[in-house]
Amino acid sequence: MTGLGTLLFLVGIGVLIFGLLRFRKRNWPKKKTQIVIISSILAIIIGIGIIPTAEEEASNEKPKQEEKTKEVTVTPILKTENTFTTNDDGMIVIEGETNPGAEVRVVFSNIPDVVGTADDDGAFSFSVDSLDKAQDVVLSIMIDGKTEEQTLSLKLSPGYESKLAAKAEEERLAAEKAEEARIEQEKIAAEEKRAADAKVAAEKKAEEARIAQEKKATEKRVAAEKKAAETKRANEQRAASAPSTSNEQGEMVYITATGKRYHYDQNCRGLNNSNGETTVTIAQAKAQGLTLCGFE
């Protein structure tokens, strides 16, 4: 109808213009011109009536769009089992059907999610070989922004459970052995440390004893040197105060009847126990084999 209304409108306009031009040139009679003009105006009016408005066009297009939208709307579907069981090697296969090209995701509790896409027939399949315990997982599909979910129960086969138990026991024994080795190593390290500390202490004690001994020897040597110096100084003083050699033989000294020393001083300590002193010359005392008293 839209095309017919437009056609009538355009034809009416064209005929009207043609009639007016012919009438202006006086080629047509007046009555004929009037008929042409009236016919043109009617064609224009009819064409305008047939041409739909914008609101009418929108109302006409809306059902078409709704029909088109209705045709492409997809309802998500998900068909699969509720329970899956591993084989004796621990592998589990999750499979089912959904919309072709839908995104399929399995959400686990202790391992990363598994994501895939359904094939052209809507089939999907996942193989998981790292399952170490029974658990519930969420299987979801997404198509055109719509999702569908289903909770699956994953079980372990008896054979696989036995393998897991044996593996756990091996790991426990290995851990115990490693712990025993660690404790033994710590004991050895502690013994070595004690021995090293004892050695250091013994070396320190020996060094202290050596230093003390050296100090004592040094003190003894210094004392001996001091005494020798004092003795030398006393002898030098005595020699300086003694009479010259020419008078030495005639100098008088004191001796005892049984003593082996001669004395310059009658009050010398070497004469304290004598029963009497005799005065002789040094020459006479030396002739008797006597020597100078050590206290002088």
> What are 73-82's pLDDT values in tens digits?
789 999 999 9
In Å, what is the CA distance from 273 to each residue of 156, 269, 276, 277?
A: 119, 8, 9, 11
When comparing pLDDT for 191 and 60, which is higher?
191
Residue 245 scores a pLDDT above 50: no
- Rounded to whole angstroms, how far apart are CA atoms 254 and 86? 129
Q: For the chain, what is the total number of helices (H) and then of strands (E)?
A: 6, 12
The arithmetic mean of pLDDT across residues 235-264, rounded, is 72
One-letter-per-residue 3-state SS of 12-31: HHHHHHHHHHHHHCCCCCHH
pLDDT of residue 9: 65
- Rounded to whole angstroms, how far apart are CA atoms 272 and 294? 14
The arithmetic mean of pLDDT across residues 252-273, rounded, is 85
Within 10 angstroms of residue 255's Cβ, the number of other Cβ atoms is 21
The first and second tokens of residue 116, run together, are 């895939």
pLDDT of residue 26: 59
CA 273 to chain centre: 96
pLDDT tens for each residue of 83-119: 999 999 999 999 999 999 999 999 998 889 999 999 9
Residue 173 scores a pLDDT above 50: yes
pLDDT of residue 164: 92
- Rounded to whole angstroms, how far apart are CA atoms 136 and 149? 13
pLDDT of residue 260: 84
Residue 59 scores a pLDDT above 50: yes
The pLDDT-based confidence of 238 (bands split at 50, 70, 90) is confident
87: amino acid identity, one letter = N
* pTM for the structure as a whole: 0.42
- Rounded to whole angstroms, how far apart are CA atoms 158 and 86? 9
Return all residues near 60 (Cβ < 8 A) that are at least 6 apart: 52
- 65 three-state secondary structure: helix
Closest CA to 86 of 163, 149, 141: 163
Residue 255 scores a pLDDT above 80: yes
Mean pLDDT, the chain, integer: 83
Among residues of the chain, what percentage have pLDDT more than 70?
74
- DSSP lists the bridge partners of residue 140 as 105, 149
Residue 67 scores a pLDDT above 70: no
pLDDT of residue 135: 94
The first and second tokens of residue 120, run together, are 């052209």
Return all residues near 157 (Cβ < 8 A) that are at least 6 apart: 85, 86, 87, 88
The CA-based diameter of the chain, rounded to the nearest angstrom, is 209
- Rounded to whole angstroms, how far apart are CA atoms 198 and 196? 5
* Helices 30-50 and 2-24, axial angle in degrees (round to 10): 160
